[in-house]
Amino acid sequence: MQPRTSESQHFSCFSGKIPFHQQKTSGPMRLLLSHGRLDLVRLQDSLTSGMFYHLSYIDLTNNNRCGNGLLTHILTSEGYQGFEIDVRARTSWDHYPRSTQASLKVHAFNPTVDDRKSQMYFKAGVFVIGNHADEMTPWLPVVSTLYDASGYIPIPCCSWAFDAKYDRSHTPLYPLPNVDFANTLNLGGDGSNKSSYSMYRIWLASLGLHCGWQVECEMLRIPSTRNWAIVGKLLRVG
């Protein structure tokens, strides 16, 4: 599935499709509109790159603030098939067209339980997204491996490990391929990679490697200070 618009056309394509309610009430949405563009190019590259095309996605937004359905609305408008699942419905969901609402699902996904409803969303080859998914963030490379996903992309906000808040002094890294691994991630800042947020992204990348994925870090042009993504591109062989 090829993207239908060039990078310069993304904003003009989507701005007219964003519900009026979102435009008038959401602070981040106003900032996004004034910014003039929406950086989905890297996300679309992840969805359509490689030797195959990723035809479906799932967006895990199990937290209290970020499940507004906007990303799902944009991907649906671009022709991608998939779901956003959240623990409860959001007020904003009612303001999207029916085509978007059909992809917004209430489901308390528990990655430690193999239930049939979750299997309905996690089809083989699905591309897994975690947009500020908080407690779900570290589970993305795990469930992507277990459900035979084609790739994954968490955009981490609050730092969580599997069963508690991430603590860089008590949460060890998974084995790294070499001592310069952190430098290859291009994490920004002063280059020391010593901040808590940098250490968390390094930990997430090491977790992805441990689960068998090729990983890289990308900075997204979105209206948030938490605008870094860790991309799991392909499962490594051997």
The Cα–Cα gap between 153 and 8 comes to 23
Instruction: Give the residue from 147, 144, 157 showing the smallest Cα distance to 61.
Output: 157
Amino acid (one-letter) located at 17: K
| Whole-number pLDDT of residue 237 | 58
* Mean local confidence (pLDDT), 120-145: 88
Higher pLDDT, 81 or 50: 81
Instruction: Give the residue from 131, 134, 151 showing the smallest Cα distance to 73.
Output: 131
Tell whether the model's pLDDT for residue 42 goes beyond 70.
Answer: no
Tell me the three state secondary structure of residue 65.
coil
| Whole-number pLDDT of residue 67 | 62
C-alpha angle 158-149-143 in degrees, rounded to nearest 5: 45
* Mean local confidence (pLDDT), 94-114: 89
* Mean local confidence (pLDDT), 46-60: 58
| Whole-number pLDDT of residue 35 | 34
Residue 83 · residue 107 · CB < 8 Å: no
Higher pLDDT, 3 or 42: 42
| Whole-number pLDDT of residue 25 | 41
Residue 80 · residue 1 · CB < 8 Å: yes
| Whole-number pLDDT of residue 130 | 86
Q: Kindly state the greatest CA–CA separation across the chain.
A: 51
Average pLDDT of the chain, as a whole number: 75
Tell whether the model's pLDDT for residue 20 goes beyond 50.
Answer: no
**Residues above pLDDT 70, as percent of the chain:** 70
| Whole-number pLDDT of residue 102 | 94
Tell whether the model's pLDDT for residue 61 goes beyond 80.
Answer: no
Instruction: Give the residue from 69, 124, 109, 156 showing the smallest Cα distance to 235.
Output: 124
Q: What pLDDT digit, counting tens, does each position of 173-225 carry?
A: 999 888 888 888 878 766 678 888 889 999 999 999 999 999 988 887 766 77
Domains of the chain, CATH where assigned: 7-165+212-235 (3.40.50)
Residue 57 · residue 46 · CB < 8 Å: no
